[in-house]
Every structure is written in structure tokens, then in C-alpha cells.
């Protein structure tokens, strides 16, 4: 690890602790050449994941797409940033624990909806209306009835 201040690789770890909901390690380091301290983060390297879209096209997995969808669904809802981060981390854990190189976008959508349903029902319906492409009010009502009957 090179020091960001002087470029030396003569440094040592002075503190390590879990970060990001135990998905990475935060390390405080001390450069022995310039005596400055800096922080690094260590994450497990995952296999590249390819998402199979509805149109059968393929693209590399992008966490920010899930973040944007969840943030839009939770807009002006009583869902904290910590809850959203935790939910996204759980979704990623579910996706990557399958140890597959490709995953259908529909499966990712179902996982997201399942997590949202448990956090905020309005956010769930918002996400479902876009994800499932609700065409009219009847489709919307049918989804609401299903949700009410599950209680």
C-alpha cells in the first residue's frame, strides 16, 4: 500500500475494524517515511456479475441502479439512510451468495420488492408500480389487495 502523501510503501497498519455493516475492513495506517496517517478500506473481491435484462441484453451488475430505485421508492417516506444502506447490503448479499455469473434482472427486482415490503409498504407499492409496469388503476388496486390479504 502506497502512502497517498509521499508515495512510499513503507507503512504499517495501526488499527483495523469492520466497516459498512461488516462487509469491509477499515484500516488506519501510518507512513514511516513522512509520519502521516491515512485510511484504507478492504473489500472482498467478487466475481463479475452479469445482469440479464428483460430484452435479453446483458450488462455488468451496477449497485447504483438498485440504490436509485430504492431511493426513489422511499422518497418522502419515514425510511432512514441507515435502513436503506442496510437493505441494499442485504440485497447484494442475497444476489452474490448465489455464486452465479449471471442473474435475471427480474430476480433482482423480486428481491428488492421483498426487502421493501418488509421496510415500508408505500415504498414497496411505488417500486412495484414502476418495476411491474402497472398499466392502470386496476393493476395498482390488485397489488394493494394482495398486500392487504397477506396481513
Q: Give the tens place of pLDDT for each residue, 71-115.
A: 999 999 999 999 999 999 999 989 988 888 999 999 999 999 999
More confident residue, 151 or 14: 14
CA–CA–CA angle 89, 94, 97 (5° rounding) = 115
Q: What is the pLDDT of residue 27?
A: 94
**Domains of the chain by residue range:** 11-43, 50-150
For position 144, what pLDDT does the model report? Answer: 79
Q: With 80 as the cut, is the pLDDT of residue 33 above it?
A: yes
Q: What are phi and psi of 59, to 5 degrees?
A: -150, 160
Which band of pLDDT confidence, cut at 50, 70 and 90, is reported for residue 116? very high
Q: Is the pLDDT of residue 37 over 90?
A: yes
Q: What is the mean pLDDT of the chain?
A: 89
Band (pLDDT 50/70/90 cuts) for residue 10 is: very high
Judged against a pLDDT cut of 90, whether residue 136 lies above it is answered with no
- Among residues of the chain, what percentage have pLDDT more than 90? 61
Contact between residue 113 and residue 125 where contact means Cβ atoms under 8 Å apart: no
Q: Between vectors from CA 144 to CA 138 and to CA 148, what angle results, nearest 5°? A: 140
Sheet holding 102-104, edge to edge: 58-60, 50-52, 102-104
pLDDT at 147 over 80: no
**What DSSP assignment string belongs to the chain?**
---TTT----EEEEEEEEETTTTEEEEEEEETTT--EEEEEEE------EEE-TTS-EEE--HHHHHHHHHHHTTTSS--HHHHHHHHHHHHHHHHTT--SEEEHHHHHHHHHHHHHHH-HHHHHHHHHHHTT--SHHHHHHHHHHHHHH-
Amino acid at each position: 500500500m502506497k502512502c497517498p502523501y509521499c508515495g512510499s510503501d513503507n507503512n504499517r497498519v495501526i488499527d483495523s475494524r469492520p466497516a459498512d455493516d461488516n462487509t469491509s475492513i477499515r484500516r488506519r495506517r501510518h507512513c514511516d517515511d513522512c509520519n502521516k496517517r491515512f485510511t484504507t478500506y478492504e473489500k472482498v473481491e467478487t466475481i463479475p456479475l452479469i445482469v440479464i435484462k428483460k430484452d435479453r441484453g446483458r450488462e455488468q451488475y451496477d449497485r447504483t441502479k438498485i440504490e436509485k430505485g430504492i431511493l426513489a421508492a422511499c422518497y418522502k417516506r419515514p425510511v432512514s439512510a441507515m435502513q436503506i444502506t442496510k437493505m441494499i447490503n442485504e440485497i447484494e448479499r442475497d444476489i452474490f451468495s448465489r455464486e452465479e455469473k449471471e442473474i435475471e434482472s427480474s430476480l433482482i427486482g423480486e428481491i428488492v420488492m421483498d426487502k421493501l415490503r418488509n421496510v415500508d409498504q408505500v415504498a414497496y407499492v411505488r417500486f412495484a408500480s414502476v418495476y411491474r409496469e402497472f398499466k392502470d388503476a386496476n393493476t395498482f388496486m390488485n397489488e394493494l389487495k394482495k398486500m392487504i390479504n397477506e396481513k
